[in-house]
């Protein structure tokens, strides 16, 4: 098998005849020229020619980008990523999972409380979870009323079918809410970043109990390479409130509630029951809550904890569970006396 490196090497045995196949001729004066652009550039004088250094949107063949060097790109990304890590190391609310419930929660908190730092962690490269398709490989997204009110708020169009509405493509909902969430200045999303553990500390509000005080995260590729608790030193994010929407059981699914069982903070999981659209969504929305001090759980992950029914390809319960979690998170945050991102006690009211 030819290696990637070998395919990039110049073969001096090639002749001028190979030029028509997209290769450079082997003449001495051309051997040191870059391999891009290929033979589609008819004039050899244009090969390797430096741009003018002035940006120009000329579609007649003179389109030119503003000048840049490789280290400009590297610094632009690393500086902002480093600044983000520094700033979000202490957050106000952490959201685990960037599917439809996590996005709905993030949007609702950021809109209601623009003063709170909201940090979202998503194990996948593409945020949105299962909300890019309505169900199986079909496009349309079904949302039962009254969750259509949330679609109106977001400005997502739909067809009204009476007791439910249909968005023509689930990606329309997901791309709309994702763009709105990311436009909030108080929201930071880390995708391709897995939650490996929960930070647990003694609860100052309930003597003898533990509370969740943040998360331990790592790049997903590192976590996959070394197991859910990797040997690579991870990053920690402290926050007084964590909302988890890690979905149903899987490699990263239901992570927070499974970790609660492993640490003894919860006796056992109820395990998600079979699909029943008639009752599942109402149950999950109404049961979305703080399951242990500092940790709110909703969506399909809550089904695994409570032993509730699966919802199927009906998304109203996911949207409303995220909204309910946002309400609970704001109430919790407002009830705490917080010092450096940690709960020091209850807030004293006059």
User: 3-class secondary structure for 13-26?
Assistant: CCCHHHHHHCCCCC
Can you give the pLDDT at residue 5? Answer: 46
The response to whether 46 counts as a known ligand-binding position is no
The response to whether 122 counts as a known ligand-binding position is yes
Can you give the pLDDT at residue 17? Answer: 45
Annotated domain spans of the chain: 91-337
257 secondary structure, DSSP code: H
Can you give the pLDDT at residue 39? Answer: 59
From the CA atom positions of the chain, what is the Rg in Å? 26
Task: Give 10-residue mean pLDDT values along the chain (350 residues).
Answer: 45 46 49 59 59 85 92 97 97 98 98 98 94 92 98 98 98 98 98 95 94 95 68 86 93 91 96 94 98 97 96 95 98 97 87
Q: Among residues 318, 324, 326, 333, which one has the least CA distance to residue 246?
A: 318
The response to whether 1 counts as a known ligand-binding position is no
Can you give the pLDDT at residue 258? Answer: 96
Collect all residues with Cβ–Cβ distance below 8 Å to 172 and sequence separation of at least 6. Answer: 141, 156, 157
Can you give the pLDDT at residue 301? Answer: 96
Length of the chain: 350
The response to whether 322 counts as a known ligand-binding position is no
The response to whether 130 counts as a known ligand-binding position is yes
The response to whether 248 counts as a known ligand-binding position is yes
Can you give the pLDDT at residue 223? Answer: 76
The response to whether 138 counts as a known ligand-binding position is no
Q: Among residues 128, 106, 114, which one has the least CA distance to residue 247?
A: 128
DSSP SS3 for 278: helix
The response to whether 77 counts as a known ligand-binding position is no
Token couple for 254? 């239901």
The response to whether 101 counts as a known ligand-binding position is yes
Which residue has tokens 């990311």? 182
Q: How far, in Å, are 98, 101, 137, 179 from residue 157 at the CA level?
A: 22, 19, 21, 16
Collect all residues with Cβ–Cβ distance below 8 Å to 156 and sequence separation of at least 6. Answer: 167, 172, 173, 176, 177
State the Cα–Cα distance between residues 242 and 343, nearest whole angstrom.
12
- Give yes or no for a contact between 196 and 234, defined as CB atoms under 8 angstroms apart: yes
Q: How far, in Å, are 176, 250, 324, 337 from residue 214 at the CA level?
A: 28, 22, 20, 16
Instruction: Specify the CATH class of 91-337 in words.
Output: alpha beta
């Amino acid at each position: 098998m030819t290696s990637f490196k070998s395919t990039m090497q110049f073969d001096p045995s090639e002749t001028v005849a190979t030029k028509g196949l997209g290769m450079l001729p082997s003449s001495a004066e051309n051997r040191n020229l870059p391999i891009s652009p290929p033979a589609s550039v008819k004039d050899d004088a244009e090969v390797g020619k430096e741009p003018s250094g002035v940006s120009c949107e000329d579609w007649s063949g003179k389109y030119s980008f503003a000048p840049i060097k490789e280290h400009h790109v590297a610094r632009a990304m690393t500086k902002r990523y480093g600044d983000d890590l520094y700033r979000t190391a202490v957050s106000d609310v952490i959201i685990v999972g960037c599917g439809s419930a996590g996005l709905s929660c993030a949007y609702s908190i950021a809109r209601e409380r623009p003063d709170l730092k909201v940090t979202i962690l998503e194990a996948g490269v593409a945020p949105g979870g299962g909300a890019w398709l309505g169900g199986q490989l079909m496009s349309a997204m079904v949302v039962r009323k009254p969750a259509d009110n949330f679609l109106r708020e977001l400005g997502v169009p739909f067809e009204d079918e009476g007791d439910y509405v249909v968005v023509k493509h689930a990606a329309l909902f997901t791309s709309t809410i994702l763009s709105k969430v990311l436009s909030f200045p108080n929201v930071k999303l880390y995708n391709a970043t897995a939650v490996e553990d929960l930070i647990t500390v003694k609860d100052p509000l309930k003597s003898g109990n533990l509370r969740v005080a943040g998360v331990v995260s790592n790049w997903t590729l590192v976590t996959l390479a070394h197991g859910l608790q990797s040997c690579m030193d991870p990053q920690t994010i402290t926050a007084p409130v964590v909302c988890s929407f890690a979905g149903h059981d899987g490699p990263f699914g239901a992570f927070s509630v499974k970790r609660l069982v492993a640490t003894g903070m919860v006796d056992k999981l109820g395990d998600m029951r079979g699909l029943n659209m008639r009752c599942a969504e109402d149950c999950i929305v109404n049961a979305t809550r703080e399951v242990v001090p500092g940790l709110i759980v909703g969506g399909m992950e809550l089904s695994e904890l409570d032993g509730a029914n699966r919802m199927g390809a009906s998304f109203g319960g996911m949207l409303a569970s995220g909204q309910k979690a946002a309400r609970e998170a704001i109430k919790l945050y407002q009830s705490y006396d917080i010092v450096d991102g940690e709960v020091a006690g209850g807030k004293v009211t006059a």
